Amino acid sequence: MSDITEVKTEKVTLDRVKELYSKPFLDLVYEAASVHRKHHDASEVQLCTLLSVKTGGCSEDCSYCPQAARYHTDVEKQKLMDVGAVLSEANKAKESGSTRFCMGAAWREVKDNEDFDNIIKMVKGVSDLGLEACCTLGMLTKSQADKLADAGLTAYNHNLDSSDGFYSEIITTRTYQDRLNTLKNVADAGISTCCGGIIGMGETEDDRIKFLHTLANLDTVPESVPINALVPVEGTPLENQKMVDPFDWIRVIAIARIVMPEAMVRLSAGRLQLSKEVQAFAFMAGANSIFTGEKLLTTGNPDYEFDTKMLGTLGLKGRVSNKKIRINA
Ligand code: SAM
Ligand code: DTB
Ligand code: SF4
Reported as a single tens digit per residue, the pLDDT across 134-193 is 999 999 999 999 999 999 999 999 999 999 999 999 999 999 999 999 999 999 999 999
pLDDT > 50? residue 278: yes
DSSP state of 174: S
Q: Give the residue among 11, 64, 6, 51 at the shortest CA–CA distance from 212.
A: 11
- The fold adopted by the segment(s) 14-318 is TIM Barrel (3.20.20)
Instruction: Find the mean pLDDT for residues 73-102.
Output: 95
In short, whether 197's Cβ falls inside 6 Å of ligand 3 is no
For residue 325, what pLDDT band results from cuts at 50, 70 and 90? Answer: very low
What pLDDT does 324 receive?
45
For residue 3, what pLDDT band results from cuts at 50, 70 and 90? Answer: low
For residue 327, what pLDDT band results from cuts at 50, 70 and 90? Answer: very low
Write out pLDDT tens, residues 280-319. Answer: 999 999 999 999 999 999 999 999 999 999 999 999 999 8
In short, whether 159's Cβ falls inside 6 Å of ligand 2 is yes
**What is the pTM assigned to this prediction?**
0.95
How far apart are the C-alpha atoms of 261 and 255, rounded to whole Å? 10
What pLDDT does 4 receive?
59
In short, whether 203's Cβ falls inside 6 Å of ligand 3 is no
Query: Active-site positions?
Result: 58, 62, 65, 102, 134, 194, 266
Q: Give the residue among 231, 261, 260 at the shortest CA–CA distance from 244.
A: 231
Mean per-residue pLDDT of the chain: 95
Cα 8 to ligand 2 centroid, rounded to whole Å: 33
Segment among 36-45, 208-217, 320-329 with least mean pLDDT: 320-329
Q: Which atom of ligand 3 is nearest to the CA of 60?
A: 6
Q: Which atom of ligand 3 is nearest to the CA of 106?
A: 8
What pLDDT does 326 receive?
35
Write out pLDDT tens, residues 105-124. Answer: 999 999 999 999 999 999 99
More confident: 200 or 328: 200
Cα 274 to ligand 1 centroid, rounded to whole Å: 18
Give whole-number Cα distances, 287 to 32, 252, 261, 267, in Å.
Answer: 9, 10, 11, 7
Task: Report angle CA 186, 187, 189 to the nearest 5 degrees.
Answer: 70
What pLDDT does 319 receive?
86
CB 101 within 8 A of CB 156: no
Q: Which atom of ligand 2 is nearest to the CA of 198?
A: 2
